[in-house]
Amino acid sequence: MADGNKVALVTGASRGIGKGCALALARAGYDIVVCARTVKEGTPLEHSSTVRRSDTTPLPGSLETTAKEIEALGSRAIIAKLDLLEPSDAEAAIRTAIDAFGRIDVLVNNARYIGPGHMDLFLDTPMEIYEQHFQCNVLGPLRLMKLAVPHMRAQEGGVFIHVTSGAGQIESPKLPGEGGWGLGYSISKAAFNRIAPGLAKEFQQHGIAVINLEPGFVATERMAQDLASFGFDANTALSVDVPGKVCAYLASHPTPMVFSGRTIDAPWFAVDAGLIDGKDFPPPYGPSHWGLPRG
């Protein structure tokens, strides 16, 4: 690490919240290892979000594009292809970071399961789909953590930031595919949400913080193209800059341990910390809901 920059590894960084976090960390001076399945722009979707969707139109975004934008900001970027269903990919991603930069200061666990049955009803969903949800959303992040911890211990500190979801805590009144989310997503996110408070006390002695980042309802490329027909309106959502800026703030904080084991609500925190003024936030985050109890 010739220039002394800190290093962040971000999963799901080809687009969406992961890309927002990667770019914000680059602006904060981090070199970035960007990880996802889509390496090149225009790669067709291997799996649609539900069995009802046969369109395989490529989503905008790729690791190559994100890496170029990071480098334009003056930071270094390394690409590591990562499919959370492939354990060897996790090992290769961590090895890539260490070989390229010699350390990992921040690991952002953002990637999640996207594939057939993502929005289907329970009776229409094979059990193997639920197994894949847990493999990607729970066991995959745990595997990356187990691989990264020895390096963080050796450098006497580090930060894990987990992009969580309110779906793991509350339930939508709408059916999956009609504005609600599939059961596999909510139950696996509930398990994922427990990792930070569960491991924070264990990692305290090593100076390693484990923080949940609740992004809020965020507009992404996938939401606009792949989920609009299932009741999700990207026009009423937050920008990826909101969780991105909060992610970089937490990672760069002089005492990140103060946040360890906690869930940080990105839209509220962004305003509280003065990162964004929030006057243009949509409901329930913007001025129309200020002064009201948080639901």
List domains and CATH numbers for the chain. 7-289 (3.40.50.720)
More confident call, 111 vs 53: 111
Residue 53's pLDDT is 41
Model pLDDT, residue 101: 97
What crossing angle do the helices spanning 241-252 and 16-27 adopt, rounded to 10°? 50
Confidence of residue 1 (pLDDT cuts 50, 70, 90): very low
For the entire predicted model, the pTM comes to 0.92
Q: How many angstroms from the chain centroid is the CA of residue 119?
A: 19
> Which has the higher per-residue pLDDT, 74 or 232?
74
Has residue 55 got a pLDDT over 60? no
Residue 291: what are its φ and ψ, rounded to 5°?
A: 90, -5
For residue 58, name the pLDDT band (cuts at 50, 70, 90): confident
